[in-house]
Structure 1
């Protein structure tokens, strides 16, 4: 295919001119950056307007599947044209056009594999796909109809349901629950009842099911690679039978035991997170709509469970970065659905999703098997089944252990004004006294750095006892930079 067709040059030009954008950010993932110069040249030739600025963005601070609003703001861009794989997460402040690209696929072989595998299957079939293969779906439908008509017993093609791309233009969201802003299609979380049935969606795909039918009633046939988008499907629809057609090598993958094992791993991390005392919130996006609401909701959840919380903004997390905060027993990663799962095996502490945090820190929560990847679906909601509060104990800083009825314990700890002094509670919990009389670390631990330093066996230059330091050495200020001794008053 020609470059202009793959990168949809004409549609991009129409998008820019129809909205009168004069500063356009072109966001490329690393694997497509090699084509950026040719794309810019093709756009300039079509635009024929020297007043329109085109700026190439690469090396995004977070996942390349999300629109980099922070990078675009540095050049005062009016819009972003996002190239390559996209999670279609809603933006907060800037409109975007998503160009998915057009990966090569043998449509005849794909249709034949789909028909052959489902011939003996009694369930209806729901066809999902990676967005890079959206351009071929109509041809696959036609090939499927043609192949089915040649069989002795013609397969009912009406039993095949194809998902559709929700929308390739993202407008800024006006509220956390509105994924793509006004004037676009319904959000991926919509389960909208209508005269004909209900609407479902995931990862930028949407489809309608007849009234009375559920996704679990269908065999899911995924066309595409074994990437984050497919992993999202496997976890979200873990109760469905799923097969995958590898479009690059033209073969069918029916054994998904490795993907199913991921769910067991996530459940293990939820159980491990329940024992955490200090929790870190990792900001994994600065552009996806509703991320601030989700961070605040996580803070309220953690403090309500009697635990200490820190918030970190560090770009893409890696083991070396998180190892700087060993006092955190678990981290919550607030990011888009397709970058939310981090393999915690290499990390010092588990890294979980907001949904898993709700399971771990909501007292009385019980995992019903449902799994939610997109944090927008969780804002101001609790997708877990509530049980009697007395059935599960929670850790309390006030009591120094697990208690059966934390609410009654909190009532006891209220001060004279009837307000829970949460700051005093957490300060009590972190009040570590160093027994070494020569140590500079004494008193209350006021930060994560203090906690880390207090656990070290060496705290810096220590000469004799506090009262036996030779006079020549007592020069200047003594203590730590965060609070010298003469500043304590």
Structure 2
């Protein structure tokens, strides 16, 4: 496939020209940054040809500025509106893999890319899978294979090996997006480029609309996703993990287009759900929660942060909001007082789970289960926080009642969040700081955190509290002249040699 077709140069130039954008930010992930200069050169040439061919005289004669953005502060799958605002961009052209999260203030045009795929081999795999099962099949795919879905469906209908008519395809999303002004409509279905569903009366018949990662499809009334078998075309990436967790009750198989083979063993992905349930139980016993801001561009993120803050506070726990860009174990280790971290980000970057993290990192959906007394996990899993915005206000149960902790193996009493009690017991908590300080276990070098209820109390319990001036020494002290020179060799060191 040629370069201009792979990067949708013609469609991108038409989008910029139609909406009369004059400052365009081009966002590239690290793996596509090598092609950025060539894309700018070809795109500028295309825009120039559109201007010269405009004979109506209604076009804008101002020069169009193209700015390349790289090294995003957060996930590369989201539109970097913060970086685009530094150059006062009118819109963002996003290249490569995307989570299709709604934007806050800037319109965006998405170039998914066009990965190569063997149409005949893929159709044969779908047909064989359909003949071996009796349930209807829903075909989902990575956005890099969206360009081939029409050809796959057409070849599948013409294939003589498949006599099934209940094979449906998800709709390809529109390549452009405008910011959502209403936070209650963040999950509305995007306008589809083409209808790939097999339901001829899908526009008239009532049914349920599903949307994930930009893909949308409609099921007839009376049918659920559990009634379908999912056939995924694409890589084993974050988008596929999102599908596996969201539709964990469905049987799912994956077609690897790079190796032209079917992958039916998804035990590793299924094990993730069990791990997430364990982290929910860990979060229930937490006293201090750090809310990690994982995005500054996805619409509704401020609403969710405030919603999580209210939920944590009502549950009798202390919450702190942290902004640090892309989180990693080294960054989170700077906040040892946090028993658990809550990561507010897009659906495809929300799962942060590694043995290197000193404290578990949960999602907003998992927080609603952990901090809502009396809630039970039904098995349904929500990755994007857009669905949580539309949920009714969470009613937190009575915190005075003891609850059973599976990790501690007994009943525990949660911290009562009463401001008056905090003020009265503040002096008592500081007086008993030595009893709650870090302790050594079994004469080993393993530190055990005390049951601190806030960051201030945790800081008071630490043996090292920074370079503070001792209270008993308040008299002025003479200053001392330090060493001179460079660290590689100070002047006094040279004199000694």
**Bin of the TM-score, shorter chain as denominator length:** 0.7 to 0.9
Gaps of 5+ in 2: 52-61, 194-201, 406-410, 436-451, 480-497
2:358 aligned with 1:351: no
2:21 aligned with 1:21: yes
Residues of 1 paired with 2:424 and 2:236: CA distance?
47
- Pick one of 53, 60, 85 that aligns with 1:73: 85
Instruction: Tell me if structure 2 keeps the 8 A contact 1:69–1:286.
Output: yes
- Pick one of 105, 117, 121 that aligns with 2:129: 117
* CA RMSD of superposed structures (Å): 3.3
> Counterpart of 1:174?
181
1:393 CA displacement: 2.7
Secondary structure at 1:366 match in 2: coil
- Pick one of 343, 350, 360 that aligns with 1:333: 343
> Counterpart of 1:475?
477
> Counterpart of 2:448?
none
Matches within 5 A, 1:88-167: 88-147=100-159, 149=160, 151=161, 155-156=163-164, 158-167=165-174
2:360 aligned with 1:360: no
Residues of 2 paired with 1:359 and 1:435: CA distance?
34
In 2 relative to 1, CA 458–206 (structure 1 residues): closer, same or farther, beyond 3 Å? closer
Residues of 1 paired with 2:177 and 2:112: CA distance?
13
2:463 aligned with 1:456: yes
> Counterpart of 2:308?
298
Deviations 1:322-347 (A, max 9, x none): 00000000000000000000114211
Secondary structure at 1:328 match in 2: coil
Matches within 5 A, 1:26-45: 26-45=26-45
TM-score normalized by structure 1?
0.82
> Counterpart of 1:63?
75
In 2 relative to 1, CA 223–116 (structure 1 residues): closer, same or farther, beyond 3 Å? same
Residues of 2 paired with 1:197 and 1:183: CA distance?
17
2:5 aligned with 1:5: yes
1:432 CA displacement: 5.8
Instruction: Tell me if structure 1 keeps the 8 A contact 2:294–2:343.
Output: yes
> Counterpart of 2:327?
317
In 2 relative to 1, CA 67–254 (structure 1 residues): closer, same or farther, beyond 3 Å? same
Secondary structure at 1:155 match in 2: coil
> Counterpart of 1:47?
47
Secondary structure at 1:245 match in 2: strand
In 2 relative to 1, CA 180–306 (structure 1 residues): closer, same or farther, beyond 3 Å? closer
Residues of 2 paired with 1:51 and 1:432: CA distance?
68
Residues of 1 paired with 2:143 and 2:421: CA distance?
47
Structure 1 window deviating more from structure 2 (315-324 vs 421-430): it is: 421-430
Number of positions where the alignment pairs a residue of Structure 1 with one of Structure 2: 438
Secondary structure at 2:184 match in 1: coil
Instruction: Tell me if structure 2 keeps the 8 A contact 1:364–1:392.
Output: no
In 2 relative to 1, CA 91–163 (structure 1 residues): closer, same or farther, beyond 3 Å? same
> Counterpart of 1:442?
none
Residues of 2 paired with 1:60 and 1:427: CA distance?
42
> Counterpart of 1:226?
236
TM-score normalized by structure 2?
0.81
Gaps of 5+ in 1: 187-191, 396-400, 414-419, 437-444, 478-489
2:389 aligned with 1:379: yes
Instruction: Tell me if structure 2 keeps the 8 A contact 1:342–1:351.
Output: yes
1:166 CA displacement: 2.8
Instruction: Tell me if structure 1 keeps the 8 A contact 2:74–2:294.
Output: yes
In 2 relative to 1, CA 461–238 (structure 1 residues): closer, same or farther, beyond 3 Å? closer
Instruction: Tell me if structure 1 keeps the 8 A contact 2:95–2:112.
Output: yes
Instruction: Tell me if structure 1 keeps the 8 A contact 2:189–2:211.
Output: no
Deviations 1:392-440 (A, max 9, x none): 7399xxxxx9449x9xx77xx6xxxxxx64864895796465559xxxx
Residues of 2 paired with 1:166 and 1:195: CA distance?
21
1:102 CA displacement: 0.2
Residues of 1 paired with 2:326 and 2:116: CA distance?
31
1:446 CA displacement: 11
1:100 CA displacement: 0.2
Residues of 2 paired with 1:476 and 1:369: CA distance?
67
2:222 aligned with 1:212: yes
1:196 CA displacement: 3.7
In 2 relative to 1, CA 185–311 (structure 1 residues): closer, same or farther, beyond 3 Å? farther
> Counterpart of 2:205?
195
Residues of 2 paired with 1:25 and 1:163: CA distance?
30
Instruction: Tell me if structure 2 keeps the 8 A contact 1:366–1:384.
Output: no
1:378 CA displacement: 0.1
In 2 relative to 1, CA 144–303 (structure 1 residues): closer, same or farther, beyond 3 Å? same
1:381 CA displacement: 1.6
Secondary structure at 2:21 match in 1: coil
1:454 CA displacement: 3.8
